[in-house]
Amino acid sequence: MLSIFDDYPIHQTPEPIARPATSDRNVYDRYWMNGYAADGEFYFGVAMGRYPHRKVQDAAFSIARGGEQHALHASRRAPADPAETVVGPMRIEIAKPMAVTRVIIEPNETGIACDLTFRARTGCIEEGRQTLLADDRPVMDSTRFAQFGRWEGTIEYAGQTLRVEPGRAYGTKDRSWGLRRIGEPDPGAPPVEAPHVFFLWAPIQFEDLCTHFCVFEKADGFRWHQSGAIVPAYGSVDELPGVQDPAQRSFHQTDWRLRYVPGTRRAAQADIALIGQDGSRHEIHLEPLLTFQMKGLGYVHPTWGHGVWKGEQALGGESWKADEIDPLLPENLHIQQVMRARYGDREGVGVLEQLAIGPHAPSGFEGYLDGAR
């Protein structure tokens, strides 16, 4: 199957671009973006994923504000052309690659609609390739980049209209692709070990720069992936020095300390560090302002999980109150918290993503779903 991308000199294999280089059914290509107010008044998330061997393309939008979270979920048969970034009423437009992205949700039965534009204020940060095996088979083998920016536009939900103004609405664009455990479980014998994840991810914005932090750990605390970066921030997309900023500082060693809310697996406060080759530490202190449930974007969702076949076209909405959910249910473990940040004499804002499933010795988690003492 040919697509418009085949008219560009970008091929990595002898196959057309629309045909993945691997036959693994869990191959994926994904957009993910967030936006949040500097004072923590609101957080919204955007997601769209293509799973070519599962023949599924899905999308979601969710907003947390005023103690409530509202979500739109959509799914369809994956279009033959990967340039067709449309699922139900939602579409993503790349107005200027690596610089300007537009997200549009037309009015629909869920009551959630939007017209939002993301404008980058940094170059893109490429994280190190993330590869994890289970039972001698890759369950994750992906590349991801992140980019910082601001949002502008409007969101309609639950009979309300929110004006998103770039002076106070920050956000991150995240693109990832490769292999990831998604969709319905593979047939055959069940895995020998129960799934385990410990993941922290923190993109933080300051006036003159942005910091990036990522770590994956095993149950004993072994860090099988860690990366970080500091990049300059610019006043407009016209000032960006290119796709990747030559002034970026990269870090291959990190550290973290979390104080958990008792009875949960979410942070009451956090300290993260980027460590230079000379041993210098760039310490960032984080205090939570707002919690967003990632299930609103399909992550660990019991019915709207990523890559699950929902039919030729499917659309659904849901809402819940933040203080009425059980934080230790599996579907509620994956969160992002809007964080007030302090880095030396700088004050900023960002998010700390957290996902802890199963035992984790450094956190004191002994069981599969126990909370902090």
Q: What is the pLDDT of residues 137-171, one digit of tens each?
A: 888 999 999 999 999 999 999 999 999 999 999 99
- What is the arithmetic mean of pLDDT over 201-215? 98
CA pair distance 234, 243, nearest whole angstrom: 13
- Asked if residue 1 belongs to a domain, the reply is no
CA pair distance 147, 205, nearest whole angstrom: 11
- What is the arithmetic mean of pLDDT over 13-40? 94
Structure confidence at residue 333 as a pLDDT band (50, 70, 90): very high
Structure confidence at residue 4 as a pLDDT band (50, 70, 90): confident
- Asked if residue 197 belongs to a domain, the reply is yes
Residue 191 has pLDDT above 90, yes or no: no
Domain of residue 71, residue span: 25-363
Question: Considering the chain, what is the average pLDDT of its residues?
Answer: 96
| pTM of structure | 0.96
- Asked if residue 261 belongs to a domain, the reply is yes
Nearest-CA neighbor of 151 among 196, 100, 191, 192?
A: 100
Nearest-CA neighbor of 111 among 161, 148, 75, 153?
A: 161
- Asked if residue 280 belongs to a domain, the reply is yes
- Asked if residue 174 belongs to a domain, the reply is yes
- Asked if residue 276 belongs to a domain, the reply is yes
CA pair distance 179, 218, nearest whole angstrom: 19
Sequence letter at residue 188: G
Structure tokens at 264: 């949960």
123: CATH: 2.40.370.10
- Asked if residue 322 belongs to a domain, the reply is yes
- Cβ-count burial of 84 within 10 angstroms (0-12 exposed, 13-18 middle, 19+ buried)? middle
